[in-house]
Amino acid sequence: MEDKFLKSAGEELRRKGYKLTGPRLAIISYLAGEKGHPDMQEILEGLRSEYPAIGMATVYRTVDLLLELGILRAVTLKNNHLRYEVNRSGDHHHHLVCRGCGQIIEFGSCNFQLMAREIEKVTRFRIEEHSLEAYGLCPHCLPGSEDHSTEKI
Amino acid sequence: MEDKFLKSAGEELRRKGYKLTGPRLAIISYLAGEKGHPDMQEILEGLRSEYPAIGMATVYRTVDLLLELGILRAVTLKNNHLRYEVNRSGDHHHHLVCRGCGQIIEFGSCNFQLMAREIEKVTRFRIEEHSLEAYGLCPHCLPGSEDHSTEKI
DNA sequence: CTATCTGCAAAGATTTTGCAGCGTA
DNA sequence: TACGCTGCAAAATCTTTGCAGATAG
């Protein structure tokens, strides 16, 4: 399953005429195996163990390329910088961000399509994609619980 | 109406023990009178005419303060940096971002509340706020029209 | 009057770019 | 083999901080 995503990402690179290099594979497989939503710095650090020679410039260039190809997706969960996740097809989800511990929960249910059709009728805009984040408090951080601020972003 | 927002923003500052200074008023009234969604640089430039002596550091510090107080709100419309708008109470809206010309249309209809209650039941999260952006093509940029890339962000 | 706020300039981060050598196709 | 890709280091941006003088309350 992880294999399948990696394989198709590799094919997508090839198809568009890009080379399938070590850093590219390393970044894709790191993000594919990652539960959280790392930022550029965290991606670099996460790769160091498997790929000690990699440089920051390569991370920037590679992530930008993978975003363009739709292999990755950017999200702004903490309202001040960008984080990244793999863009598995058929995996339409949104984020629940806890303001207590920073934990992010993904949720899949989304009835925006109905709303979208309505908005398109009124505005004549063609809606192709959307993103939705909800902010609040997770069960641990609700008043009456202790702070468990060690969760994965 | 613009007056009312400015007045209540000023009161909010005072109430929390902050001073009502020139730069603060200038930034609030600039953003209150602005249709678009300027970023830090654009706020600075927009203020220069009315307040030529203002410095970038003050813009950063002031915008951060006004965000904390809830007088402003940050949005990431172009997926790579933050833009700001005034946070008028009772003005719950989202953004339609055109990938052709960059224009942003605000829309108000939003039935997320129903979805939120459902998600809260399942996750035990308490949802306090949410943000939603939809991306696509505006009527001008749909195939068959010319590019009018001069719209306000 | 006093504590806060501002502008400036310097420091610190973050992101981009140029280039010589490496590695994939 | 050839061209694209990488790592490094430098450059360009963007953001934060320290401080002395200005200013709101």
Q: In what order do the strands lie in the sheet with A126-137?
A: A104-107, A94-98, A126-137, B126-137, B94-98, B104-107
pLDDT above 90 for B121: yes
* pLDDT of amino acid A151: 56
What are the beta bridge partners of residue B150? Answer: none
Average pLDDT along chain A: 91
Confidence bin at A90 (pLDDT 50/70/90): confident
Fold adopted by A92-153: Dna Ligase; domain 1 (3.30.1490)
Residue B151, pLDDT score: 57
Inform me whether the C-beta atom of residue B89 falls under 8 Å from chain A C-beta atoms: no
Asked whether the predicted pLDDT for residue A89 surpasses 60, the reply is: yes
Q: Which residues of A136-151 are buried (b: 16+ CB within 10 A; e: fewer)?
A: bbbebbeeeeeeeeeb
Mean of pLDDT values over B94-119 = 90
Write the CB contacts of B82 (distance below 8 Å, at least 6 apart in sequence): A79, A80, B39, B40, B74, B75, B76
Residue A29 has pLDDT above 80, yes or no: yes
Q: What is the average per-residue pLDDT within B100-120?
A: 90
Residue pair B44/B56 in contact by the 8 Å Cβ criterion: yes
Whether B97 and chain A come into contact, CB under 8 Å, resolves to no
What is the reported pLDDT for A111?
Answer: 85
Higher pLDDT, A109 or A37: A37
Instruction: List the A14 CA – D1 C1' distance (angstroms).
Output: 20
Answer whether residue B91 shows pLDDT above 80: yes
pLDDT at B144 over 80: no
Check residue B80 and give its pLDDT.
Answer: 72
Averaged pLDDT for residues B72-96: 91
Q: Indicate whether B142 pLDDT > 60.
A: yes
**Section B138-148 average pLDDT:** 78
CA nearest to A66, candidates A38, A27, A17? A27
So where are chain A's domains?
Answer: 1-90, 92-153
Where residue A54 falls among pLDDT bands split at 50, 70, 90?
Answer: very high
Please give the C-alpha separations between residue A50 and each of A41, A45, A81, in angstroms, as whole numbers. 15, 10, 25
Percent of chain A with pLDDT over 90: 76
Rounded-to-5 percentages of helix, strand, coil across chain B? 40, 20, 40
pTM of the entire predicted model: 0.89
Which residue's entry shows tokens 């292999």?
A71
Question: Which contacts (CB < 8 Å, 24+ apart) does range B72-81 have?
Answer: B72/B28, B72/B31, B74/A79, B74/A80, B75/B37, B75/B131, B75/B133, B76/A76, B76/A79, B76/B133, B77/B37, B77/B104, B77/B133, B77/B153, B78/B102, B78/B153, B79/A74, B79/A76, B79/A82, B80/A74, B80/A82, B81/B39
Residues of B in contact with A111 (CB under 8 A): 111, 115
Is the minimum CB–CB distance between A3 and chain B shorter than 8 Å?
no
Q: What are phi and psi of B83, to 5 degrees?
A: -125, 160
Query: Is 3.30.450.20 the CATH number for B1-90?
Result: no
Strand D nucleotides within a 7 Å radius of protein CB atoms: 4-10, 14-18, 23-25
Beta carbons within 8 Å of B25's beta carbon, 6+ residues apart:
B6, B10
**B138 and A125 in contact by Cβ < 8 A?**
yes
Interchain contact, B137 vs A126, CB within 8 Å:
yes
